[in-house]
Amino acid sequence: SDLQKQEERGELLQPLIFVLLVLCSVLLYFKVSLMDPGFVKPEEEEDENKGQGVVIPQIPGDIKLRRCGYCLVKQPMRAKHCQLCQHCVRRYDHHCPWLENCVGERNHPLFIVYLSVQLVALLWGGHVAWSGLYFEQSWEWLQHNIFLLVSFLLIFIFTIVVLLLLVSHLYLISCNTTTWEFMSHHRISYLRHSELENPFDQGIILNLWRFFC
Taking a C-beta distance cutoff of 8 angstroms, is the pair 212, 109 a contact? Answer: yes
Q: Is 24 a catalytic residue?
A: no
End-to-end CA distance of the chain: 49
Q: What is the pLDDT of residue 143?
A: 73
Residue 84: closest CA among 39, 123, 125, 52: 39
Helical packing angle, 108-131 and 13-34, nearest 10° = 150
What pLDDT, on a 0 to 100 scale, did the predictor assign at position 56?
46
Residue 168 pLDDT more than 70?
Answer: yes
**Would you place residue 82 in the very low, low, confident or very high pLDDT band (cuts 50, 70, 90)?**
very high
Q: Exactly one of 68, 96, 102, 213 is catalytic; name it.
A: 96
Angle at 87 between CA 86 and CA 88, to 5 degrees: 140
The arithmetic mean of pLDDT across residues 175-201, rounded, is: 89
CA distance linking residue 103 with residue 108, whole number of Å: 5
Beta bridge partners, 80, equal: 89
- Provide DSSP, 154-171: HHHHHHHHHHHHHHHHHH
The percentage of the chain sitting over the pLDDT mark of 70, rounded to a whole number, equals 78
Mean per-residue pLDDT, 22-36: 95
- The H or E element spanning position 80 is strand 80-82
- The residue among 129, 121, 91, 92 whose CA lies nearest residue 28 is 121
Indicate the average pLDDT of the chain.
Answer: 83
Q: What is the model's pTM?
A: 0.82
Residue range 119-124: mean pLDDT, rounded? 94
Q: What is the pLDDT of residue 9?
A: 59
Q: Compare 105 and 70 and report the one with higher pLDDT.
A: 105
pLDDT digits (tens, 9 = 90+) for 45-74: 555 444 444 344 445 555 566 788 888 888
Residue 20 has pLDDT above 50, yes or no: yes
| Angle at which helices 108-131 and 204-212 cross, to 10° | 90
Q: At 95, which helix (H) or strand (E)?
A: strand 94-96
Pseudo-torsion of CA 82, 85, 90, 91, nearest 10°? -60
Q: State residue 71's pLDDT score.
A: 86
Reported confidence tier of residue 160, pLDDT bands at 50, 70, 90? very high
